[in-house]
Structure 1
């Protein structure tokens, strides 16, 4: 079904339909790191990051815009989690920090910088979610607010699994190196054993015909 409107004179008009699409288009302001800028304003974040439980992680961000700033731009950085319109976890102007992240969030950013880092300390499994950066600032045409639409997917891995995997890699490397080393440098005991066996076999080969000859002569004499 198409939504149509008519201007005076009966000319079909799609103006209202286009106006309905504007909010959806405005939400495309956020771009992932490395993507081309398809808008004149946006937020750039890493698409995916991984952290180890109990350690810390840094989520870098940057933003850009076309407007001329007001005399007092009052820039603010806010962060959401889970989904596009999820709960706020940080507000740079009020100092608000979500209870779940109490004493664990540090924003490394200073106005009027257009890039910074959100650091999360003492990671736990519940920190595994998507994080969205939101920008507020005053311009000469009014207050502007926009945020990333993709966010950063943070994955938390268990410390024990990480250590086990590392030990497995090290053990494999040491075993491989040991096998390669023994190809050229065999143990002294193994070398001595092989040498002894070789001497005994050679002796047996030389002595056996002599014994056979003596037995034959003794038999013939009798």
Structure 2
């Protein structure tokens, strides 16, 4: 400050500008450090997971925090679904489980672990939504609460083979259609089968001679190629210079 007083004119003005700029930079640095201290508590979850209907799925989670925990941190894991402010479906401290997930939720986590897994059993089509993990714990300074912002989107696909008929059902249907007959009339399926068989036989009769002819021509061509090759080699040998 004494340096600023001793300066005069333009030099003093420039010094004041530099002083103000340095003050602003220091204030911004302090604010950034403060914001970093505030954001040292959070929850990590995968953005998307998919499972098959009737099977189970696991949602892994982890959390981090700053500060020192109390002797009894009173850690609590809660889960919501559908949206950020949706209904709670699980509470680790009370053992609460939403009626929709009765006997279908298992939390693999124990205090003071900072990671765990929520398992959903017997997936249903209605389970396809977003799930949010919420964590509460007590530090020496205060009780902290944080929740995942984006959550985990669960996609439930249909069970394999649910829309396909079994081979036994298909075979039974074909056999039944072949045996059905109404009042002495010929079954259309048998007529179609006979027509298809006739077309196949006729095609085979027409195509077989053609293939035989092509094979014969190919064989003759190879014989001529061999003979021409021998003749060419003989001519080459006669053209070689004498020793």
TM-score by length of 1: 0.57
The alignment status of 1:92 with 2:92, answered yes or no, reads yes
TM-fit CA distance, 1:163: 8.9
TM-fit CA distance, 1:162: 9.0
Counterpart for residue 153 of structure 1 = 153
Counterpart for residue 176 of structure 1 = none
Structure 1 unaligned segments of length 5 or more: list them.
Answer: 1-37, 165-189, 204-222
Tell me the SS of whatever aligns to 1:73. coil
Number of residue pairs aligned between Structure 1 and Structure 2 = 142
Q: Distance in 1 between matches of 2:110 and 2:163?
A: 37
More helix, by proportion = 2
Structure 2 unaligned segments of length 5 or more: list them.
Answer: 1-37, 165-206, 221-243
Change beyond 3 A, Cα 1:194–1:90: same
More strand, by proportion = 1
Deviates more, 1:38-47 or 1:59-68: 38-47
Tell me the SS of whatever aligns to 2:160. helix
Larger Rg: 2
Change beyond 3 A, Cα 1:100–1:68: same
Q: Distance in 2 between matches of 1:86 and 1:150?
A: 13
Counterpart for residue 46 of structure 2 = 46
Change beyond 3 A, Cα 1:153–1:65: same
Counterpart for residue 215 of structure 2 = 198
Cα displacement string for residues 132-161 of structure 1 (whole angstroms, at most 9, x for unaligned residues): 000011111121111101100111111137
Counterparts of 1:12-161 in structure 2, within 5 Å, are 39-160=39-160
TM-fit CA distance, 1:198: 3.1
TM-fit CA distance, 1:99: 0.5
TM-fit CA distance, 1:197: 5.9
Q: Distance in 2 between matches of 1:202 and 1:96?
A: 84
TM-score by length of 2: 0.52
Q: Distance in 2 between matches of 1:73 and 1:83?
A: 28
Q: Distance in 2 between matches of 1:197 and 1:148?
A: 73
